[in-house]
Structure 1
Amino acid sequence: MTEVIFNGSGTLEERILGGLDAEQREVASNLKGPMCVLAGAGTGKTRAITHRIAYGVHSGVYSPQRLLAVTFTSRAAAEMRSRLRDLGVGNVQARTFHAAALRQLQFFWPQAIGGVLPNLLDHKANMIAEAARRLRLSTDRASIRDLAAEIEWAKVSMLTPANYLENAQGRGTPGGFDLTAVSRVFQSYEDVKTDRNVIDFEDVLLITVGILQEDPKVAATVREQYRHFVVDEYQDVSPLQQRLLELWLGGRDELCVVGDASQTIYSFTGASPKHLLGFKAQYPEASVVKLVRDYRSTPQVVKLANDLLGSRRSGGPAADAAWAKPLQLVAQSAGGPEPRFMECPDDEAEAAVVAGRIKELIDAGVKPSEIAVLFRTNGQSEAYEQALASAGIGYQLRGGERFFARKEVRDAILQLRAATRAVAEDSTKEPLGQLVRDIVASLGYTDAAPHSGGALRERWESLAALVSLADELALSRGAGFTLVEFVNELQERSVAQFAPTVQGVTLASLHAAKGLEWDAVFLVGLSEGLMPISFADTPGSVDEERRLLYVGITRAREHLSLSWSTARTPGGRANRKPSRFLDGLRPDSVLGASARSRAVPRRKVAAPASCRVCGTMLATGAERKVGRCSQCPPSYEEQTFEALRQWRKEEALGNDVPAYVVFTDATLTAIAEARPASLEELAKLAGVGPSKLEKYGEAVLAVLAESEASS
């Protein structure tokens, strides 16, 4: 749908509500009381709530200073602020939960607690490493990452080191440690922070909640400041964020929430759709509006998305209770091509086929910036980077170098800022877009793109993105939009990492693609063990993987391709199967035809207590890992074990870590003896946790396949 810009002509309803459909208009025109908006992918939810805010402000129902719009990422908050400015209500606050809480904490800390607010910790890794060292626990980067994620989950779930253990049962072994060790690291981490006088992002929410609960004067001040609340992506709210929202409200019901339970893909961080799904029970008088008209995707893409969710089968009482009935999207756009399903012999061939298809689309007129390759894990990107580079196609890696950190972008902003004074003194009224073009021309910008690739082309694309943004904002904000306002906009976007569009194919993980859309989307690596990921070992976690694929499908406007490979490396064993989620969706497949071979993997069982050869009780952890006592001879082939050891050596040298950090000798022996043929089989071996499986699993299978081929 084309955005309607607030231009001051016509009646208030015509200016703000005129371009909305019936359901969007219902959201935007009902300004009082609690409201729950169930909004499917591509149905214009942000449009509906920003127009609701604008209509409320322009009609006098809302005071812009007393309304707080909350979302979950800085980018989404920046986009919302930009849309609100386009609608003439730029003074409304749109922030993330953390940003809103930090602002309050900075203001109230001196009177509520006293002294100076501690420094905010950007990254947990160093502190967690120090916490583990204090406990004399050995860690590597992967285990530190897993421990950080577990501690974040615990804190947003409002758990403390004291009650973590009793509430974390069934969460496996984060970072390779049992839950007792994790609780000790958790406490040690909190002690390290206290010693260093720092707080982390979760503390910002926790301390704000504590102050609002304990200090009635502070709570009253906040509630007087904010009378109306809008919460976007409400399916992603954590228990801690929900508690903060309840304290902001203080028993009032002037709340509008927007979300889609079928896009819940962050449960591992503590997010839960239960607050969205239980909204009507909490607020019986609430209006509930469903947005199901999909304006983004073709009917062919929408049908596939609906069919994916509709083909889900029972996962048992607990999983079924947590699975919300999906919204049935109804496509509003014209028809397009059918989604493509492609099976390839190996990863290299899959990347080459995808690059070839992308070149065809570009030759047919699709902009590179309107094409995306989406994968389950970041480790899959390398093959596509190489394939696109070989094909001479530019790309940008989402999650790689940030746009505003690029040297040419920083230089351009400095030039633009320096030019604001001279422009202010100049009586000529040159259009903003041309003005920006003239200023960045000294940095190498030209109207025509350079024919060469590499660094020169990347530099030009960055500058071209700034010029395009200037043109776009001049159009949406009107002729009076000045260079000073443009520079201020760039500064705000830099803080929020709300980058303009860069001409290049986007490579991104499925999680990073949330909230974005492209004309053409390639969903790659859709084989068992990657989609769903191998460590999704419960019905609930498999359901989340299905929702993640749904998010991927609904990113596509017109062209959609789904592909997988049957082997990792050229000439390797073709032991991969297409994802179970594609059963009944891809041509010549039958729903449930391979259900037996693709059942949810069982949780890892305890290592055997007796030798599988002689029956002797096993005395050490190393013996239990391999399932054999030290007196019995090994059953692996020597060349296989040596190939694994050589691979481990190279991996350790490349990452500058001791070899045992990759895999211990005992685990390597277990792998050589078991010779797993798939990620699922590898995951069953003791010593191969989720993080190591994700990091090394494919490489280990490749070593085994090469060893078998040469034997």
Structure 2
Amino acid sequence: METARLLADLDPDQRRAVTETTHPLCIIAGAGSGKTRVLTRRIAYRVAVGTADPRHVLALTFTRKAATEMGTRLARMGLRDRPHVGTLHAMAWAQVRIWSHDRGTTLPSLLQHKGHLLRELPGRGHLPVPELASEIEWAGARDISADDYPSAAHQEDRRVSAPFEQVASLIVEYREAKRRRGVMDFDDILRTCADLFDEEPGFARTQRWRFRHLFVDEYQDVNPLQHRLLSGWLGDRTDLCVVGDPHQAIYRWNGADAGYLLRFAQDHEGAAVVELRGNYRSTPQILHLAGAVLGPGAARPLARRPAGDPPVLVAYGDEHEEARGVARAARTLHGPGTRWDSQAVLVRTNGQMKPFEDAFTRARIPFRVRTAEPLAGRADIGAALRHVAPGDGHPLRTVVVDLDDYVAEQQAARGRDGQRSEALEALVRLAREYSAMEPEATVGDLRGWLMTAMGLDGPGGVDAVHLVTFHAAKGLEWPVVHIAGLEEGFVPVSYAKTPEAEAEERRLLHVAITRAEQTLRISWASTRTMRDAPVARRPSRYVDALAAAKADLDALMTMDPGEGLARSRDALRTAVADDLDRALLDELHAWRARVARRAGIAPAVVASDRVLGDVARHRPTDRAALGAILGVGPMVVDTHGDDLLGIVSAHAAAAGAP
């Protein structure tokens, strides 16, 4: 690999993230900033310059889709040896299974669904099974014992329809029931692997020798149990690179702790932090609304795409009218040569989907509700494995080629009907990965590993509009996004009572908005049927900020660019004192016009006339001096500081100043 080719199409922030030599490294990567490109290029770059051995690279993420994308990109870069890429659960399961196999012991089988076991717990009473499962998973993610659950749940203001002490007792019952049945759940996989690092020095030495270069994606989603496991893999070494975005921290309710990302520099002495400020996914208009949701103090990304369609905000009479309106808009936006799956309808809760399912059915618009079914549970996956293997004990390495041939035949047949199966393609990739990682694995071992791999979804396959919740949409993107049901009680959700929970709801809406690439529609209903009766609804509290941002964009569209620029320049020239460097002022003014034009916003939003005048007058040489100028806040310094200081420095050099 040529390093020049790896760096050629990167912007300055991305290039620094790829080439930074400091370890540990934290990359702050907002939505659409090219984080997967940067992470894979960094791995390939380090291999190319000889600071990493691909056989000893461990790259971890949270979804099979993301892991597949990372692996595919690395393969295209021509690495002679493949790095180990996978989800945290899948990699932990593989390592625990190898350890067990080497000692001649048998691991418990994986419990795919908790429901049946939880229903049989004697102490459950009337506590709903989904609610109990959620609390068990939260306690597992937080890595707390049953004894500590009541105080921790009280501190976090957990909403459970049973006393915390009863839930603690049920956690004990559940763990005992698993032991009797000889099963383990997904949290047990992580806990077992983390415990081995703590209790088995030989296991820890082997793992740290095998995986010397650690890369972790979506670091804002790490929970305490996962962090303990990652710390076990890292040990006392520093070769760690993490990527995350605090604005996409939306799983606190499920045990995630974005503090691991925010405190990275404090927790890892000598660490470097690089921020990717550009957004290559969404138009400037969409980013303007996404930023408005976060509030005035949040850092805003730089739009790297041309201006697009103005976002649309629509109020409907009730949820059925809203669903019909979205269906009509979807048909209108389904132009010649476009696919239905280029559009998605995003809602906050699963319960909001039914009107859209009905409306799309009546309109004869194909749709699909996105799911995250484990690959092992899919009928087509089971059929493929049964076709190539006489039994679960058959060596995996002997059937991989047959599996490849079978899937190729199936895909060829599907292709004649215009469809292909991403799941079958994923099966072949996963079988090869697992066989390479564990040469003695059997088909039964592969089945266990597949239970840790979520089904692949997203554009492709069936051509249909996607109906997706905000949470399930994370990591995906579509040219056209309809955000529906933006009402109080849904956005924010009714049980988000604390400031922390409300802040997470803001971030969740920000995530939903930034799934849109080109076209964004946002709607809500004035009434909604609840318990068979119409109930008046109020627009979400975030609608005011969105409407104000939309008004800014509408005003910009009606402004004569030439007239506005001339008026701004005249006002600036008459408002400044004689000691102002007018040549530098012209350069600053030209820069502001370029940024505003690229972002599709008014020039004054980038920087006011007074700020430009003070920069030209005081000529700051560092960020502290720039930040001392009245009107230049931390957001301006973070977003435009390098540009402004660079212009001042270049002007001084051209003028021969010391």
TM-score (norm 2): 0.72
Q: Verify: 1:333 aligned to 2:305, yes or no.
A: yes
Partner residue of 1:205? 190
Query: Residue 363 of structure 2 corresponds to which residue in structure 1?
Result: 391
Whether the aligned pair in 1 keeps the contact of 2:54 and 2:82 (CA below 8 Å) is: yes
Q: CA deviation at 1:158?
A: 1.4
Q: Are 2:31 and 1:33 aligned?
A: no
Residue matched to 1:219: 204
Q: Does 1:344 align with 2:334?
A: no
When residues 169 and 464 of structure 1 are mapped into structure 2, their CA distance, relative to the original with a 3 A threshold, is: closer
Q: Structure 1 residue 464: deviation in Å?
A: 8.6
Counterpart CA distance in 1 for 2:352 and 2:420 is: 29
2:265 is aligned, of 277, 280, 284, to 280
Report if the CA contact (8 A) 2:423-2:456 is conserved: no
Match of 1:122 in 2: 112
SS at match of 1:580: coil
Per the alignment, do residues 385 and 404 of structure 1 end up closer, same or farther by CA in structure 2, a change over 3 Å counting?
Answer: farther
**CA distance change for structure 1 residues 515 and 35 in 2, over 3 Å: closer, same or farther?**
same
Structure 2 partner of 1:657: none
Q: Is the 8 A contact 1:31 1:56 kept in 2?
A: no
Equivalent in 445, 456, 462 of residue 419 of structure 2: 462
Counterpart in the other structure of 1:139: 126
Q: Distance in 2 between matches of 1:282 and 1:526?
A: 38
Shifted more, 381-390 versus 263-272: the winner is 381-390
Once the 2 structures are TM-superposed, how far is the Cα of residue 238 of structure 1 from its aligned partner?
0.5
Aligned 8 A contact 1:584 1:590 in 2: no
Q: How does 1:298-447 map to 2 (within 5 A)?
A: 298-311=283-296, 326-363=298-335, 365-399=337-371, 446=416
* Cα-to-partner distance string for 1:420-468 (whole Å, 9 max, x where unaligned): xxxx9xxxxxxx9xx999976756x54xxxxxxxxxxxxx45349799x
Structure 2 CA distance for aligned equivalents of residues 230 and 306 of structure 1 = 29
Does structure 2 retain, via aligned residues, the 8 Å contact 1:348–1:569? no
With over 3 angstroms needed to count, the CA separation of the structure-2 counterparts of 1:173 and 1:415, relative to structure 1, is: closer
**Residue type of the partner of 2:113?**
H
> Which residue of 506, 517, 537 maps to 2:477?
517
Shift of the alpha carbon at 1:562?
0.5
The letter of the residue matching 1:338 is P
Separation (CA, whole Å) in 1 of partners of 2:336 and 2:488: 33
1:47-80 Cα offsets, whole Å, 9 max, x none, are 0010111112233221111110111112211221
SS in 1 for 2:196: helix
* Residues 450-490 of structure 1 deviation map (CA, whole Å, 9 limit, x = unaligned): xxxxxxxxxx45349799x99xx9xxxxxxxxxxxxxxxxx
Spell out, residue by residue over 1:614-665, the C-alpha distance to the aligned partner (whole angstroms, 9 max, x if none).
Answer: xxxxxxxxxxxxxxxxxxxxxxxxxxxxxxxxxxxxxxxxxxxxxxxxxxxx
- Listed as ranges, the gaps of 5+ residues in structure 2 are 390-400, 430-446, 553-658
Measure how far apart 1:211 and its partner are.
1.5
Q: Percent identity?
A: 37
CA contact (8 A) 1:416 1:436 kept: no
Contact 2:285–2:307 (CA under 8 A) maintained in structure 1: yes
- Amino acid paired to 1:579: S
Specify the alignment match of 2:14 in structure 1.
24
Match of 1:190 in 2: 175
Measure, in 2, the Cα distance between the counterparts of 1:504 and 1:340.
22
Structure 1: 5+ residue stretches without partners:
1-7, 312-324, 418-423, 425-431, 447-459, 474-490, 592-711
- Distance across 2 between alignment mates of 1:361 and 1:416: 44
Q: Deviations over 1:311-360 (max 9, x none)?
A: 5xxxxxxxxxxxxx643111111101111000000000000000000100
**One-letter amino acid of the structure 2 residue matched with residue 565 of structure 1:** A
Structure 1: which amino acid aligns with 2:270? Answer: E
Q: Does 1:575 align with 2:544?
A: no
Q: Is the CA contact 2:220–2:261 (under 8 Å) kept in the aligned structure 1?
A: yes
Residues 118, 442 of structure 1: CA spacing in aligned structure 2 closer, same or farther, 3 A cutoff?
closer
Distance 1:164 1:368, change over 3 A: same
In the alignment, structure 1 residue 165 sits paired with structure 2 residue 126: no
- Within 2, Cα distance between the matches of 1:588 and 1:85? 42
Aligned counterparts of 1:103 and 1:400: Cα–Cα separation in 2: 21
Cα separation, partners in 2 of 1:352 and 1:400, compared to 1, 3 Å: farther
Aligned CA distance change for structure 1 residues 351 and 176 (closer, same or farther; 3 Å): same
Q: What is the TM-score with the length of structure 1 in the denominator?
A: 0.67
Alpha-carbon shift at residue 115 of structure 1 (Å): 2.8
CA spacing shift, 1:14–1:192, aligned 2, 3 Å: same
Q: 1:365 to 1:299 in 2, by over 3 A?
A: farther
Cα–Cα, structure 1 residues 23 and 172, in superposed 2: closer, same or farther, change >3 Å? closer
Shift of 1:364: 5.6
Native 8 Å contact 1:78 1:498 kept in 2: no
Which residue does the alignment assign to 1:271?
256
Q: Cα distance 1:529–1:240, how it changes in 2: closer, same or farther (>3 A)? A: same
Amino acid in the other structure paired with 1:516 = L
The 8 Å contact of residues 3 and 49 in structure 2, kept in 1 or not, is answered as no
Measure, in 1, the Cα distance between the counterparts of 2:177 and 2:384: 41
Q: Secondary structure at the match of 2:523?
A: strand
Task: Provide the residue aligned with 2:433 in structure 1.
Answer: none
Is 1:31–1:61's contact at 8 Å kept on the other side of the alignment?
no
Aligned partners of 1:237 and 1:271 also within 8 Å? yes
1:534 equivalent in alignment to 2:509: no
| 1:6-63 deviation per Cα after TM superposition (whole angstroms, max 9, x unaligned) | xx6xxx1232221111111111122552111001100000100101111122332211
CA RMSD of aligned residues (A): 3.4
- The equivalent residue for 1:557 is 517
Aligned CA distance change for structure 1 residues 148 and 441 (closer, same or farther; 3 Å): closer
For 2:251, the aligned partner's letter is Y
Q: Across the two proteins, how many residue pairs are aligned to each other?
A: 516
8 Å Cα contact 2:56/2:211 also seen in 1: yes
Give the direction of change, closer, same or farther, for the CA distance of 1:413–1:339 in structure 2 (3 Å limit): farther
Give the distance between the partners of 1:100 and 1:550, measured in 2 at CA: 31
How far 1:138 moved relative to its partner?
Answer: 2.2
Shift in CA distance, 96/572, structure 1 to aligned 2, threshold 3 Å: same
What is the rounded CA distance, in whole Å, between the counterparts of 1:190 and 1:388 in structure 2?
44
Query: 1:255: Cα distance to partner?
Result: 0.5
Q: CA deviation at 1:402?
A: 8.2
Distance 1:222 1:127, change over 3 A: same
The 8 Å contact of residues 28 and 243 in structure 2, kept in 1 or not, is answered as yes
Task: State the 1:176 CA deviation.
Answer: 1.3
Helix, strand or coil at the partner of 1:176: coil
Matched with 2:282 is 297
Q: How many angstroms apart in 2 are the aligned matches of 1:62 and 1:338?
A: 46
Shift of 1:243: 1.1
In the alignment, what sits opposite 2:437?
none
Aligned equivalents of 1:356, 1:399: Cα separation in 2: 25
Deviation at 1:284, TM superposition (A): 3.3
Quick one: structure 1 residues 203 and 568, their matched pair in 2 at CA, closer, same or farther if it must change by over 3 Å? same
Aligned amino acid, residue 15 of structure 1: R
Deviation at 1:404, TM superposition (A): 9.6
| SS of structure 1 residue aligned to 2:345 | strand
Structure 2 counterpart SS, 1:543: helix
Distance 2:157 2:343 in 1: 38
Name the CA distance, whole Å, in 2 between partners of 1:40 and 1:290.
8
Distance 1:402 1:65, change over 3 A: closer
Structure 2 residue aligned with 1:620 = none
User: What is the CA–CA distance in structure 2 between the aligned matches of 1:464 and 1:127, rounded to whole Å?
Assistant: 32
Any conservation in 1 of the 2:319–2:527 contact (CA below 8 Å)?
yes
Q: Which residue of 2 aligns with 1:497?
A: 455
Q: Choose the corresponding residue for 1:508, options 453, 456, 468.
A: 468
Distance 1:439 1:212, change over 3 A: closer
Distance 1:100 1:128 in 2: 27
* Pairwise CA distance, 1:279: 0.6
Partner of 1:149: 134
